[in-house]
Chains A and B, each alone.
Chain A
Amino acid sequence: MKTFSKKMLSGAIALTLLGFVGTASAVVNVQCPGDIDGDADWVTPGETQPANTKCMHLIAGDSFAVMSDDNPMYIFGFGDKTGVGNLPDVVIGNGILAAEWPGPTIELDQGDEFYLNLTNVGTVMRPDLFDPHTVHFHGFPNASAVFDGVPEVSISINMGSTLTYYYNIVEPGTYIYHCHVEATEHMEMGMLANLYVHPAQDMTGCVNGNQNCPVSQRGGNATGPGGYVYNDGDGTTAWDVEYALQFSSFDDKFHDASLFVQPLPFAMLHGTYPQINGRGYPDTIRLGDLPPPTDNTAPVAGHPAGKVTGTPGEILNNGDPTQTMDSVIQVNQGQRLLLRLSNVGLDRFWTITAMGLKMKIVGAGARLMRGSDGKNLYRETASLNFGGGETTDVIIDTSDVAPGTYFLHATEVHQMSNLTQLDGGMITEIVVN
């Protein structure tokens, strides 16, 4: 029997909404300037995208992700439903079991006005839960409480409804976004994602006349660098290739407790599946999407085959891939490689090294590494220690690097495993061609 039929689930959601949230108006309401049909884009004829405006329609819900040892993990997460429209049936029908791990990457430009619509489609695998959700734009400067997404001190969106966040983007850098509702639970369950902002200097070059920073390729100059990390004024944060790598870890016991409706082990929370962008090695270097999540075909981690449904190999969602971010890093010798590193670990610090390569830390916490009087405080290092919530911008200059494959990994080398499976976890490869 197909437990995860889309039609059945949307019916279940509709019933849930009717039965338990009777007083709420439960309305999917997408707000996006210039967008007439409420799908958060400007594709429909007659729609015009206003200058410096970006829109997105995220859903918050649940789904599954499969670890590199074939162990399926129940997750909460975000999915991108921009372009899907604003009809509740359609959005919820598309949004259920469509959470991605990690969430969709948000990439913005300094000067953007960003309208982020968040629709809560509920957690169909856990119909006993009525959790609201939020987006917390981690590191947003001069934040207001209303758009900061911390439910204890602000508002969060109930199932079936949409909350539109508005952000005026003025500070470039590497951020994170995540849900802040029942933060320990929702973040452990996977409501985490990459977010970064490109600087205005990409488009203008240095406005102070410094000759070392021409307009970048992002700004249309084919001979310029790919871009800059910050408005450095001196070209020292120029890069040719950029990647965002988010470091995280799942505690399999926590996810299984959530799936099987058991008390959540907060005090004993302990990451057992260290990951980069939602995968452990060697899945980190599998190009493109992983296949849609399926139930395990062989016993894993003390569970029999078919841990979730009892049917080994059963597809666990609507058949869409949920792990869409690989961490394959390709760079040509001589290029400057920018890594936007973020740590969303819940229970421990990690130290990252790129064996054989020198990392230059040029930014942290969405700011240039620069002192109050303008001194660059860049640091060349072989290791970077960071904790949850820290973001670091690292440039690796490959001019003097021999072509080959280099490993980027956690120096706490026991993190290089997927639970009991060795040679996994927090590893990816940097290929210098």
Chain B
Amino acid sequence: MKRLLKQPGRLMGLLFTGMSCMLAVPQAQAEHDIRGITQANPTGQFNLYAFPFNMNLPEGTSLYMWGFGDMNSGDGRTHQMQGGGYALPQYPAPTLIVQEGEPVVINMTNYGVPSPVSIVVTGHNVTPTCVVSVMNTDTNQDNCDGLITMEAEVNETVSYSFTAGSPGTYIYHSIGGDNPALHTEMGLLGVMIVRPADGSRTAYGENTGTDYDQENLYLMTEIDPDIHLQMEKGHYQHFTNSDRHAKIWFINGRVFPDLFQGDFNSLFPNQPYESLVLAHPGDKVLVRNVNAGHDSHPMHYHGENLRFIGRDGKMLSSNGTDADLGRSDNTINSAPKQTVDALWTWTGKDLNWDAYGPINTSCTDSNHDMADDFTGALCNDQNCIDLENNRTGALGPDGFDDHNFQYCPDHGKELPVTLPGVGDLTLGGWWSGSPFLGDTGDLPVGEGGLNPFGGYFLVWHSHAEKELTTFDIFPGGSLGSVVIVPPSAPID
């Protein structure tokens, strides 16, 4: 899709054919960015507050949490259509999006967390200021003093200033009070993303080889519900860190299957961020893999290996110009408070069978999006047009269709085995009913139905399989997924 948009002639063609098939195939923005907030609000600064809340999990738990919320009600949100007016305390905290070199100020007021709250930002030297005003008094005249940084007791404000460092992914969280380990456990944590100064849609800047089509956050945390119960009862001294034994595991603050639902879904009022990743074949997916918890997590990415490009906000580079030190893996050994940026691309190359199924000569696909112009159904016509390199635009074949990334050497090849009948199979809810991308098969009544585009769900999950549970219930926990959707399916 991206390549189509680069070519004005084809774009016009697409628009005209798009007119006729608008109902069947809505043409949407084909790229995803991580949702968050910027300083582009009337104050020009981040204004967060800390407050307790309860959040509900799918197995029935109501967890008492402490969270940061956005006092600007999403005025600086990155996506106009989502998050407007959103000001609840949230898990995780609002994702802060800033630019390299940008002066950043986070004013943080504690409106009700019964422990002094603070903010530290990994990889950044932060200057705290105790704010005393009519509204905010330094209640006990201790000048917001704290062990590691300044802390805000209830109704106090601390302002944290720093300059956004090198592009990459960082964590900010509270640490302090009587028990520094308590604050991240209770939910006072979030992600800060620093975008390159040159404004390019890359992880580390123009010409670093880190451009991407889709950008997604994979933030891991874990919770011991016993601690939350003690805090809810006000037993602040009741728990010692040696007793901590996590029993619930999260991605982006949600557990399976809640994490498949959309961003800012009102079913999860305090958990605004989803972790279902959508990608078209050939898309470069930038994964910001963050462990903000206390334990290590081995995140395993199905479907294809990732190539690492950065760690802890630093490009993996020997020369400062490109990510030449990044290797490839399918599992990320995520240490606590470590961030890893990685690129992931699925093409379906070398399956040795046509991922789009048998060639269909009776459908029409004039815009080459693998969908019929009129019905929107899968259309794997006889064409696989490979005249140029999809990445560089250079003349000469690269194996992939120039429009839709279909892998031409496998075009028309049959599936080499016969699948058992549905009576011999157990069918997953996200199974489309067909082995082919973009296709949906006949499923028995009551089966499937959660995969309307006929996508390939490839799960991204913690491979410490114990972590696929929510408080003793399987399935749950940190079981996320990417969905490879056919080129015709919209991604926003």
Q: Contact residues of A with B, CB < 8 Å?
A: 23-27, 29, 31, 113, 115, 132, 138-139, 141-146, 148, 150-158, 160-166, 168, 170, 181-185, 187-188, 265-267, 269, 343, 345-349, 364-367, 369-373, 375, 377, 385-391
10 residue pairs, one from A and one from B, having the closest CB atoms: A389-B463, A387-B298, A365-B329, A153-B457, A168-B352, A161-B424, A146-B435, A388-B463, A132-B426, A153-B430
Out of A142, A265, A348, which one reaches B346, CB within 8 Å?
A142
- Of A343, A366, A386, A390, chain B has the most CB atoms within 10 Å of the CB of A390
Chain B residues closer than 8 Å to A187, beta-carbon distance: 465
Are A161 and B322 in touch, CB under 8 angstroms?
Answer: no
| Chain B residues within 8 Å of chain A by Cβ, number | 72
Out of B347, B349, B353, B465, which one reaches A183, CB within 8 Å?
B465
Q: How far is the CA of A367 from the CA of B326 in the complex (A)?
A: 12
Chain B residues closer than 8 Å to A143, beta-carbon distance: 302-304, 458
Known contacts A155-B425, A161-B424, A372-B326; is A365 also within 8 Å of B305 by CB? yes
Are A142 and B430 in touch, CB under 8 angstroms?
Answer: no
Some 26 contacts from A to B, beta carbons below 8 A apart, are: A25-B423, A27-B420, A115-B416, A142-B351, A144-B437, A145-B435, A151-B426, A152-B429, A152-B475, A153-B430, A155-B425, A163-B424, A163-B425, A166-B416, A183-B465, A184-B466, A184-B469, A266-B472, A266-B474, A365-B305, A375-B325, A377-B327, A386-B298, A387-B297, A387-B298, A390-B329
Q: Mark B308-352, 1 if CB is under 8 A from A, else 0.
A: 000000001010001111111111010000000000001111111
Out of A138, A151, A269, A366, which one reaches B466, CB within 8 Å?
A269
Return B428 CB to nearest CB of chain A, in Å: 5
B387 interfacial by beta-carbon distance below 8 Å: no
Q: How far is the CA of A146 from the CA of B420 in the complex (A)?
A: 12
Are A148 and B303 in touch, CB under 8 angstroms?
Answer: yes
A-B contact count (CB 8 A): 219
Are B324 and A142 in touch, CB under 8 angstroms?
Answer: no
Are A148 and B302 in touch, CB under 8 angstroms?
Answer: yes
Q: How far is the CA of A241 from the CA of B129 in the complex (A)?
A: 62
Are A370 and B465 in touch, CB under 8 angstroms?
Answer: no
Q: How far is the CA of A184 from the CA of B325 in the complex (A)?
A: 34
Q: How far is the CA of A170 from the CA of B304 in the complex (A)?
A: 12
Are B327 and A367 in touch, CB under 8 angstroms?
Answer: yes
Are A170 and B350 in touch, CB under 8 angstroms?
Answer: yes
Are A385 and B333 in touch, CB under 8 angstroms?
Answer: yes
Q: How far is the CA of A250 from the CA of B98 in the complex (A)?
A: 46
Out of B318, B328, B471, B475, which one reaches A375, CB within 8 Å?
B318
Chain B residues closer than 8 Å to A377, beta-carbon distance: 325, 327
Chain A residues closer than 8 Å to B323, beta-carbon distance: 372
Q: How far is the CA of A84 from the CA of B346 in the complex (A)?
A: 37
Are A139 and B330 in touch, CB under 8 angstroms?
Answer: yes
Return B154 CB to nearest CB of chain A, in Å: 33
Are A145 and B456 in touch, CB under 8 angstroms?
Answer: yes
8 Å CB interface, B259-302 against A: 296-298, 300, 302
Q: How far is the CA of A15 from the CA of B297 in the complex (A)?
A: 44
Q: How far is the CA of A265 from the CA of B474 in the complex (A)?
A: 11
B247 interfacial by beta-carbon distance below 8 Å: yes
Q: Mark B405-431, 1 if CB is under 8 A from A, else 0.
A: 000000000011111110111111111
Chain B residues closer than 8 Å to A132, beta-carbon distance: 425-426
Out of B298, B347, B351, B468, which one reaches A184, CB within 8 Å?
B468
- Of B326, B331, B355, chain A has the most CB atoms within 10 Å of the CB of B331
The residue of chain B having its C-beta at the shortest distance from the C-beta of A151 within the complex is: B428
Q: How far is the CA of A346 from the CA of B474 in the complex (A)?
A: 14
Q: How far is the CA of A413 from the CA of B400 in the complex (A)?
A: 51
Out of B333, B346, B350, B425, which one reaches A157, CB within 8 Å?
B425
The residue of chain B having its C-beta at the shortest distance from the C-beta of A155 within the complex is: B425
Known contacts A153-B428, A185-B474; is A168 also within 8 Å of B351 by CB? yes
Known contacts A115-B417, A370-B327, then 16 further A-B pairs from the complex at CB < 8 Å, ordered by chain A residue = A31-B418, A142-B351, A143-B304, A144-B355, A145-B456, A152-B428, A157-B426, A158-B425, A182-B474, A184-B466, A346-B464, A364-B327, A371-B316, A372-B307, A386-B333, A390-B329
